[in-house]
Structure 1
């Protein structure tokens, strides 16, 4: 694996930095300490910075040569509102906050790449290093764009990397087109007429109406959706009633919709609205239908994926450059890809074996369960062995995209 020697040499320092971030997790738009750490490191290495985009976002600007060409690299910084179960030395110091998705590692990898790019500058153009807040539900990418990211940093393309448990350590995976789905939520409130459960004929019971709706929603997937178009409707909450002998006045339904295209999403939203309204009307009830679009689908651009695959093969080899199977998870990098060409890709985090190094720290396993550990899991931890791999990919991508500086003309 042709990793950059200096990145491997600096692994202990960037491992310590990653673990410091892990121990001090911050939620969306609250990444004050993390943003300051990033800004301090970039400034220390002589990299100009832009702050305040998306409230706590930081952008490092690394220039070399004379070209006007530019590329963007993105790392997310925020943590999740969940309590960590690990008890190793760098575990979260704050109950209810945890880096359970590896954003600490993403930040450290991009910082490692920043250090190398600033030190060597073997490219011609500008690398914009985008440290983004609030990926976990806050839409930080959108907010950075609203604050003028692409106007102040006019890049040709932007790329994002995420670690992925289950893919072997150090292997990359990417695909053309949709790689992650849109994320959307719905809330439906059915209002009937409450009454005594022994005399249901005097009431308009919202519960069977809700049951009819939930069943009918699945016919959108099986009968309205083209079979080749991926989509999911999941009803995840139904709330109603206070006593077993009372027909309730209202029933509330909530859930999520995931699609890979906006056209399918438009169809699903309209069909759900129609079903909700007409089903309620058929039973003499009233209905309020709310549909909230959170993140659009993350759709990679073919040309950018082709360049990325070449760099992946250079770094880890063709046999470790995989085709990623799209997932119904969502990612706000999608906002960037709606505005700019680019690609989102995965770096294998392994099966969790790296956590065995912590065994015995507390007289046991280190507070985690052995075996594979998924994202958003209280036992998750980023694999520090990935730091030089991901950083090497970032450096090589910048150098490939922007090319070398022109040699001075010979007199």
Structure 2
């Protein structure tokens, strides 16, 4: 296939970009080096417009086709940020920054979209406008929300938007997608349990926060097992349990629980928030303690729109010969903010038999690059075909 062959030719160059980004990971909105490299390459490719500072450190490139009779404008988005993880791959291009690593493949996503941008700016074999979007702070910072609130869609006239993520365990270069709810809403909570501390040898004189907090941890699991319809998806996880005592003979005055709730339905999300507060507060009361709950809704459910999902799958079949149905994912993805603003779709591309994302031994497989770049380019040329002659 001509497009895929072109990206096979570009593979060494794109791989070099990717590995350079891997060596220099940056977190959240602090993607100054990465954003600078992206903006520089987009200008080098001859993009019609390159804008920096959208959503703080986001970068946008505009590529116009040879004609614009269709009036269509498509957005293609890649994320740029890394994770606060110490790399353990032993690669010769491993992270040079202690405690930071590209453990989710955003270096690969950025490199693939840059590769597609180079091809599209070179050929312009489409009728309309392609907007390439490089987003910071996907890993918990809400960079997608920041770019949308900064006027991304309106400023560039984007009518539909597409995203892609590599997926370990899925065959290398294969694709998978699903319509509707795909990635979960990611809420977070803090529960502060206040009691009356004292000597561990005199438990009758204290209000033991460790007992109350432990019972809260266990009782929160009944939200999934006894409050939510068994056919619905929900995860309630307490991920941190801290007290204000470090001594072996002191019962602490205060305990703090932190965790996350993942849901794929608004009604289930509402129920989970209400029950979490009720369970925490009333369980604490049983033990004579007091619980205060802070509940924050973070990323919303990421849902693909039907027509755009069918189209994205058709293009994936053009590139790879097949496109499977993806599983529901209880992880979050802030591309949800862009899909809430405009119709579009998000697809998974296989990273083969690699370590899982967010693991210190994870590495993006560069052999994915031709498939990923081809999907981006085919999206544009198929959705906005240029008239013959």
Q: Name the structure 1 match of 2:185.
A: 182
**1:155–1:405 CA distance, 2 compared to 1 (3 A):** farther
The aligned residue for residue 307 of structure 1 is: 311
Q: Judge conservation of contact 2:80–2:106 (CA < 8 Å) in 1.
A: yes
| Pairing partner for 1:404 from 369, 378, 386 | 386
In the superposition, the TM-score normalised over structure 1's length comes to 0.90
Aligned mates of 1:290, 1:9 — CA distance in 2: 53
Distance change >3 Å, CA 115–CA 102, structure 1 → 2: same
Question: 1:137 aligned to 140, 145, 156, which one?
Answer: 140
Task: Name the SS of the counterpart of 1:347 in structure 2.
Answer: strand
Match of residue 51 from structure 2? 50
Give the 3-state SS of the residue equivalent to 1:170 in structure 2: coil
| Structure 2 Cα separation of the partners of residues 41 and 265 of structure 1 | 42
The runs of 5 or more residues in structure 1 that have no matched partner are: 353-372
In structure 1, the residue matched to 2:20 is: 20
Matched, 1:60 2:64: no
Structure 1 equivalent of residue 276 of structure 2: 272
CA 1:70–1:205 in 2, change beyond 3 Å: closer, same or farther?
same
Aligned length: 385
1:283 is aligned to: 287
Superposed, which structure 2 residues align to 1:250-261 within 5 Å?
250-261=254-265
CA distance in structure 2 between the partners assigned to 1:242 and 1:3 by the alignment: 61
Q: TM-score, normalised by structure 2?
A: 0.95
Once the two structures are TM-superposed, the CA of residue 199 in structure 1 deviates from its matched residue by 2.9
Give the CA RMSD over aligned residues. 1.5
Structure-to-structure mapping, 1:230-241, within 5 angstroms? 230-240=233-243, 241=245
With over 3 angstroms needed to count, the CA separation of the structure-2 counterparts of 1:198 and 1:20, relative to structure 1, is closer
Inter-partner Cα distance in structure 2 for 1:245 and 1:10: 65
Q: 1:86-97 alignment to 2 at 5 Å? A: 86-97=89-100
Is residue 122–residue 405 contact of structure 1 (8 Å, CA) maintained in 2?
no
For residues 56 and 289 of structure 2, the distance between their equivalents in structure 1, rounded to whole angstroms, comes to 44
Equivalent positions of 1:292-331 (< 5 A) are: 292-318=296-322, 321-331=323-333
Match of 2:34 in 1: 34
Structure 1 residue 195, shift from structure 2 partner:
2.4
Matches within 5 A, 1:116-131: 116-131=119-134
Q: Structure 1 residue 163: deviation in Å? A: 0.6
After TM superposition, the runs of 4+ consecutive aligned structure 1 residues lying more than 4 A away are none
